[in-house]
């Protein structure tokens, strides 16, 4: 599991930062990529990346401001041309887009005006607070933010993984590898040929807890941030302004780097990554944002365009040892 920041700027692109788009790369977990916001020229950023558009199966839009959606029609259109690149000559896979009211109308209006005919289906899901996607592997929840328009943060939770089969214990019982091991791995109660009954759960190691990623963009302070980020392994949080511009941040519905750190600490997150940086913070000025945040939450980093952060799998089921900065 990896986070790749395709764009880390706020409002408008700059020479150093494109506007917002984040790719959650789930290549090992399900051979998919999920995008969070698709700012202008996201398709160009992907050309500089190893992330492939055809792998994108889900897109989550936080809100309808242009720096978060203007790249969406272009991305969808470029992805449409990938059918000829597929080995089997088939069409690109379908895409599901989650977002606030008006998103479907916006996308279809642009595609219709440009006379684009997609080879694949777009499924739109209008977001409401709560769980918006869930299967056996992941759950995604939406939390309302405070930005002046309908706006959501997203919390991605990986389901716990069943512990490893303790093969040595089974071999000591005289069992041999085969279909029986599969039943035991599934936690079933199994009766052996010698009449002994064993519970498969007794031969499994501790469950491996799933990872949690929270993505909080474009919002001023609200209690919902803490709910979205609770015990997150990684909290991605907007830091449009520094603490010296807190009044301006509040006026425009944004957060400072200091507020992001306070939210990370209050939520008992493990790691904080700052993004959505105003173009006024160039070069070393951006380092000041990190310095302000680290005074409150030590494990703080600032994202740069095309930077990738690895989110390693957890090794134990202990969830109480959380670094709170």
**pLDDT, tens only, 120-136:** 999 999 999 999 999 99
Query: Distance between CA 199 and CA 217 in Å, rounded?
Result: 47
More confident residue, 181 or 250: 250
* pLDDT tens profile 162-196: 767 777 777 777 777 777 777 777 777 887 777 77
Is 310 part of any known ligand binding site?
no
87 pLDDT above the threshold of 50: no
Contacts of 95 (CB under 8 A, 6+ apart): 56, 57, 58, 59, 76, 79, 120, 121, 122, 123
- Asked if residue 255 lies in contact with residue 221, where contact means CB atoms within 8 angstroms, the answer is yes
In this predicted structure, what is the pLDDT of residue 198? 78
Q: At 310, is the secondary structure helix, strand, or coil? A: strand
Is 276 part of any known ligand binding site?
yes
Do the strands 307-310 and 2-7 form a parallel or antiparallel pair, or are they unpaired? antiparallel
Query: Distance between CA 194 and CA 64 in Å, rounded?
Result: 66
Rounded to 5 degrees, what are φ and ψ at 109? -65, -45
DSSP secondary structure, 15-63, as one string: SS-PBPEEEEEEHHHHSEEEEEEE-TTHHHHHHTSS--GGGEEEEE---
Is 67 part of any known ligand binding site?
yes
Contacts of 199 (CB under 8 A, 6+ apart): 187, 189
Q: Which residues pair with 76 in a beta bridge?
A: none
Q: Which candidate in 37, 67, 151, 305 is catalytic?
A: 67
- Residue 220 sits at the vertex; the CA angle it makes with 215 and 221, to the nearest 5 degrees, is 90
Is 263 part of any known ligand binding site?
no
The overall longest dimension of the chain from CA atoms, in Å, is 75
Is 218 part of any known ligand binding site?
yes
67 is catalytic: yes
Hey, what are 116's tokens? 């684009």
pTM equals 0.87
In this predicted structure, what is the pLDDT of residue 177? 73
Distances (CA, A) of 144 to 25, 149, 216, 222, 311: 24, 10, 10, 9, 25
Hey, what are 49's tokens? 């990346």
- Asked if residue 169 lies in contact with residue 280, where contact means CB atoms within 8 angstroms, the answer is no
Q: Residues of CATH 3.60.15.10 domain(s) within the chain?
A: 2-161+208-310
53 pLDDT above the threshold of 90: yes
More confident residue, 176 or 42: 42
In this predicted structure, what is the pLDDT of residue 206? 75
In this predicted structure, what is the pLDDT of residue 317? 55
- Give residue 204's pLDDT band: very low, low, confident or very high (50, 70, 90): confident
Is 160 part of any known ligand binding site?
no
* pLDDT tens profile 16-31: 999 999 999 999 999 9
Is 44 part of any known ligand binding site?
no
Nearest-10 Cα torsion for 313, 142, 125, 113: -100
> Which uninterrupted H or E stretch holds 294?
helix 284-294
First to last CA, the chain: 23
Classify domain 2-161+208-310 at the CATH topology level: Metallo-beta-lactamase; Chain A (3.60.15)
Instruction: Kindly report which listed range (82-86, 143-147, 225-229) carries the lowest average pLDDT score.
Output: 82-86
């Amino acid at each position: 599991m990896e986070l790749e920041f395709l764009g880390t700027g706020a409002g408008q692109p700059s020479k150093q930062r494109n506007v917002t788009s984040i790719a959650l790369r789930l290549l090992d977990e399900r051979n998919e990529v999920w995008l969070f916001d698709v700012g202008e020229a996201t398709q160009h950023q992907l050309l500089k990346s190893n992330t492939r558009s055809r792998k994108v199966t889900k897109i989550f839009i936080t809100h309808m401001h242009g720096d978060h959606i203007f790249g969406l029609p272009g991305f969808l259109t470029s992805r449409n041309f990938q059918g000829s690149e597929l080995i089997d000559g088939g069409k690109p896979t379908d895409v599901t887009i989650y977002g606030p009211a008006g998103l479907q109308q916006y996308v279809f209006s642009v595609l219709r005006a440009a006379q684009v005919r997609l080879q694949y289906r777009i499924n739109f899901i209008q977001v409401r607070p709560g769980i918006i996607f869930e299967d056996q592997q992941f759950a995604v929840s939406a939390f309302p933010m405070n930005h002046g328009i309908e706006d959501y943060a997203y919390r991605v939770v990986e389901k716990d993984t069943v512990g490893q089969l303790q093969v040595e214990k089974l071999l000591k019982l005289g069992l041999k590898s085969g279909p029986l091991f599969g039943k035991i791995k599934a936690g079933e109660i199994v009766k052996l040929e010698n009449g002994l009954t064993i519970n498969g759960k007794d031969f499994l190691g501790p469950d491996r807890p799933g990872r949690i990623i929270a993505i909080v963009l474009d919002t001023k302070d609200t209690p919902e941030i803490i709910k979205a980020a609770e015990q997150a392994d990684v909290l991605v949080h907007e830091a449009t302004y520094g603490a010296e511009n807190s009044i301006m941040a509040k006026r425009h519905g944004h957060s400072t780097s200091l507020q992001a750190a306070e939210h990370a600490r209050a939520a008992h997150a493990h790691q904080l990554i700052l993004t959505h940086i105003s173009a006024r913070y160039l070069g070393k000025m951006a380092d000041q944002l990190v310095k302000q945040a680290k005074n409150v939450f030590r494990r703080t980093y600032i994202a740069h365009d095309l930077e990738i952060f690895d989110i390693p799998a957890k090794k134990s089921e202990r969830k109480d040892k959380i670094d709170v900065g």
